[in-house]
Amino acid sequence: MNKELFNEKLEKLNKKLAKYNENIKVLSTTESSENNFIEVTAEISEPKITGKKNVEYIGMVSFKNGIREIYNINSNFILGDLEDEKFICEHCNINRYRTRFFFFLEDGKLKSIGSTCVDEYFGYNILKMLHVYTIGSNSLANEKGFKVYQGTPLDILIWYTAYVTNNFNAIWKSQEKYEYESTISDVYSIQSVLKELGYNNSDSDVQGYVAFHLKHKDGNMVKETKKLLLEKYKDFVPKNDFEHNIKNNLFYDDGTLRDSIIKEGIIAWTIWKINNDLKKVKLEKFEKESEFVGTVGEKFEDWILSVRDTFDLMTQYGYCQLVIFNDEIGNTLKWFNSGKTNFSVGDSYKLKGTIKKHEDYLTKNEKIIKTTVITRCKIID
C-alpha cells in the first residue's frame, strides 16, 4: 500500500488504541521506490473489550450518492420515517456529516450511532479495522480524482427490464423475498444482461436491440412507463422501508423522476411490477367483457384498435405476426399479419379490413373469450 497513506492511517489507529494501552508495532518494512509502495509486517495486540450487552440491532441508513438507502431487519421500526434531526450520533454527540448511521434498540429506546463510532459503541475489532483500512487505501489515496458511480439512465433501465422480463410478462420474485434480498445484500445489476451479448450501455444500442426483439416503437414504452411511475409514486406515502427505498431511489427532492438510477435492482422490480399489474387489470377486463364484433364477411373502416400482445409464427406460407387487439370497449380481435409492419404492444392503430369469423378462445384459466378474427387489414394514416 502507499507509504504515506499507511503511516497516516497507522497514526490514527494508534491514537485510538492508546486509551486501551495498546498499539500496533511495525516489525519490518520493504519499500518499492519505483511505485512508492511499502510492504509491512506488524504485530497487533487486540484489546479485550466486551462491548454492549442487551442491545438489539435494528438496521442502517446510508446516504451514499445523496440518496437515503434503508437496510432494515426489524419490520416494527420504519427508519424511512425518521426526521433529519435523528441522524446525529448519540455516542459521541458530534453533529457532522456521515454517510451511514446504525440504529439499535437500547433499554427500549431507538439509538442512532454514526458509522465512525459503531465499532467503539460495541467494542473494537482491531484486526478487522486494519483490514478495512488496507482494502480501502487505494480509493482513499485517489479520493480527489474519485468518480462517484452515476448509475444507469432510467430510460435504459426500463428497456433492460422489459427485455429480461419478456415485455413485463415474466413472473418476478415476490415482494417479500425481494425486500429481504435487497436489504441484506447487493441487488444484482440488470446491466449485465446484455454485456454478455456484446452490447454497450449506450441509449441507442440498448433501445435498438430491445425494441427489435420486443417489437416496440422507439420511446413509447419508456414514456408510458414514466407516466405510470409518476402516477403511482409521486404523491405516494411509504408504509414501510421497502417503499421508502423505492421512492428515494426513484425521485429527486422536487418530486421529478431521477435521470439515472443508483440502485438498479429495486427500481427494475418497480418498473416490472407497475407494468405487470396494468397488464393484469387489462387482461381481466378483456376476459370479462369481450363480445363478438360485427358480422362475418362485413368490411370495416376507421376502427381504432390497441395492441394487447403479439406472437411470431412460422407457417407453411412463411413468417407472420399474430396480433391480438382490443377495441375501445374491451372486445378481443386477432389478425394474422403477414405484411412488413411490426406492431408494438401498447400502441393504437386505425385499421380497415374484413371480419373473417367469430370464435371462442379458451384461456389457461379455462375462461372463454369471444374473439373476432379479422383479415385483409390496412393501417389508415
pLDDT at 361 over 70: yes
User: Is residue 292 predicted with pLDDT exceeding 70?
Assistant: yes
Model pLDDT, residue 121: 75
Predicted confidence at residue 135, as pLDDT, reads 44
pLDDT of residue 108: 84
Res 126: pLDDT: 43
- Is residue 8 predicted with pLDDT exceeding 90? no
Question: What is the residue-averaged pLDDT of the chain?
Answer: 75
List the one residue out of 158, 185, 171 whose CA is nearest residue 270: 158
User: Is the CB of residue 346 less than 8 Å from the CB of residue 222?
Assistant: no
- Look at 81 and 367; give whichever has higher pLDDT: 81
Provide the pLDDT confidence category of residue 230 given band limits of 50, 70 and 90.
very high
Residue 136 has pLDDT above 50, yes or no: no
- Going by pLDDT thresholds of 50, 70 and 90, the confidence category of residue 311 is confident
Measured in degrees and rounded to the nearest 5, phi and psi for residue 186 equal -65, 140
Q: How much is the pLDDT for 377?
A: 94
170-193 pLDDT, tens digit per residue, is 655 555 444 444 433 333 444 555
Domains along the chain with CATH numbers:
3-48+124-145 (no CATH), 55-122 (no CATH), 152-286 (no CATH), 290-379 (2.40.50.110)
- Of 122 and 239, the structure prediction assigns the larger pLDDT to 239
Q: Is pLDDT above 90 for 357?
A: yes
279-286 average pLDDT score: 68
Mean pLDDT, to the nearest integer, of 37-42?
65
